[in-house]
């Protein structure tokens, strides 16, 4: 994304060597600082770490920032900072080139299959446009020419929010609740589907603001889960919902809503969040709060590349349209206005 093209084999080899060298300069004391507060949310640790790195760099406060240098550091240091936020430990600096997944897996005591999954997880969650909240916030901050690490911290504050980066946690929580009720109450998946609709509750991990079919990223997750955890009860439940919720919506829910004059559910199919949290859970990530950091793992360098390109292209400072809707209450006058005067 930095150069907007695939590298040649020689370029890729040189880039890996550059990344390995840059990692030796990573400020490990930042990891020690962010993990001093043991109960802090992993995303709070990540945001604090990004800010501390920006303070340490302490440059590019005037003129056009040298974002290319910052993006290369971001590519090199992202897995180290994310690993510290997830594991609560200061990571080791690898002496040879390691992928994001390999670095994180080593800190978490996971194997090579899990490392490959984490690499694929990062790619699947890499930024895919400028309209989502975290990317927009970061690019808006970058348009003011602030150091790259502060722009990424701004974007991650947006990702941390309840409505942006928590979708797969909600999906996992619902799957675990369903699993518990099936075991304790003997309730069927069909009944859980109907009950969810009758309550007007959300079936988390289904639907998409743009897509009107199953999210292709969800299909990738199903293929990965087939390889990593084919016998997982949680995965089997997710697979069953993958079939039964869309079927119920198309055959029962939407006809019912149409009769009631309500809008139809446009996309009842799984999105990327339906299974991603469950796979992480089964891999041993038992603190769902870390899921957002893993989301950020793939997203941060890609956002950094966009900030760099927009600075190079001299994109004007962001100024969203903000049309005036007219006054709701009249302005005070006469005695009311005098009462407000000092």
Q: How far is the C-alpha of 213 from the C-alpha of 242, rounded, in Å?
A: 12
Nearest-CA neighbor of 300 among 168, 91, 148, 170?
148
Which residue has tokens 């079919």?
Answer: 213
Instruction: Report d(CA 213, CA 200) in Å as an integer.
Output: 22
330: CB partners within 8 A, 6+ apart? none
Asked if pLDDT for residue 340 goes beyond 80, the answer is no
Helical spans, DSSP H, in 186-319: 189-198, 216-228, 233-248, 254-259, 273-283, 291-312
H-helix segments, 98-160: 100-108, 112-124, 133-142, 148-160
pLDDT band at 327 (very low <50, low <70, confident <90, very high): low
How far, in Å, CA of 118 to CA of 104, rounded?
A: 8
- 339 burial type by CB count under 10 A (0-12 exposed, 13-18 middle, 19+ buried): exposed
Task: Identify the pLDDT of residue 165.
Answer: 85
Q: Are 154 and 136 in contact (CB under 8 A)?
A: no
The pLDDT of residue 61 is 53
Q: Mean pLDDT throughout 41-47?
A: 97
Contact 267, 212 (CB under 8 A): yes
| 3-state class (DSSP) for residue 117 | helix
The more confident residue out of 38 and 181 is 181
Residue 264: count other Cβ atoms within 10 Å of its Cβ: 12
Concatenating the DSSP letter of every residue in 217-238 gives HHHHHHHHHHHH-TT-HHHHHH
Which residues are designated catalytic? 164, 208, 273
Give tens-digit pLDDT for 196-238: 999 999 999 999 878 888 989 999 999 999 999 999 999 999 9
Tell whether the model's pLDDT for residue 118 goes beyond 60: yes
Task: List 137's β-bridge partners, or say none.
Answer: none
Structure confidence at residue 101 (pLDDT): 96
Residue 60 has pLDDT above 90, yes or no: no
CA distance linking residue 167 with residue 275, whole number of Å:
10
Q: Is the confidence at residue 59, as pLDDT, over 60?
A: no
Q: What distance in Å separates the CA atoms of residue 248 and residue 16, rounded to the nearest whole number?
A: 49
Task: Confirm if 315 and 143 have CB atoms less than 8 A apart.
Answer: yes
């Amino acid at each position: 994304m930095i150069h907007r093209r695939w590298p040649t084999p020689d370029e890729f080899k040189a880039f890996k060597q550059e990344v390995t060298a840059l990692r030796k300069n990573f400020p490990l004391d930042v990891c020690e600082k962010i993990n001093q507060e043991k109960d802090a949310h992993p995303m709070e640790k990540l945001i604090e770490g990004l800010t501390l790195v920006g303070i340490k760099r302490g440059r590019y406060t005037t003129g056009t920032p040298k974002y290319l240098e910052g993006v290369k550091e971001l590519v090199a240091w992202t897995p180290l900072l994310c690993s510290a936020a997830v594991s609560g430990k200061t990571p080791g600096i690898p002496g040879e080139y390691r992928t994001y997944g390999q670095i994180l897996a080593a800190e978490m005591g996971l194997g090579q299959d899990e490392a490959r999954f984490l690499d694929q997880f990062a790619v699947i969650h890499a930024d895919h446009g400028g309209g989502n909240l975290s990317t927009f916030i970061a690019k808006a901050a970058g348009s003011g020419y602030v150091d790259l690490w502060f722009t990424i911290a701004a974007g991650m504050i947006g990702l941390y929010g309840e409505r942006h980066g928590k979708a797969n946690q909600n999906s996992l929580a619902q799957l675990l609740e369903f699993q518990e009720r099936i075991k304790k109450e003997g309730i069927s998946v069909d009944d859980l589907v109907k009950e969810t609709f009758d309550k007007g509750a959300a079936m988390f991990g289904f639907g998409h603001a743009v897509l009107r079919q199953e999210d292709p990223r969800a299909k990738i997750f199903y293929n990965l889960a087939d390889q990593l955890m084919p016998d997982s009860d949680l995965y089997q439940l997710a697979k069953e919902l993958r079939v039964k919720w869309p079927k119920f919506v198309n055959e029962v829910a939407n006809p019912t809503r149409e009769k009631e004059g309500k809008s139809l559910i446009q996309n009842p199919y799984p999105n990327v969040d339906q299974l991603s949290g469950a796979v992480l859970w089964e891999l041993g990530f038992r603190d769902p709060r870390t899921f957002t950091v893993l989301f950020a793992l793939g997203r941060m360098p890609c956002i950094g590349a966009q900030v760099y390109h927009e600075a190079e292209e001299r994109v004007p400072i962001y100024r969203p349209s903000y049309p005036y809707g007219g006054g709701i209450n009249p302005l005070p006058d006469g005695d009311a206005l005098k009462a407000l005067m000092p």
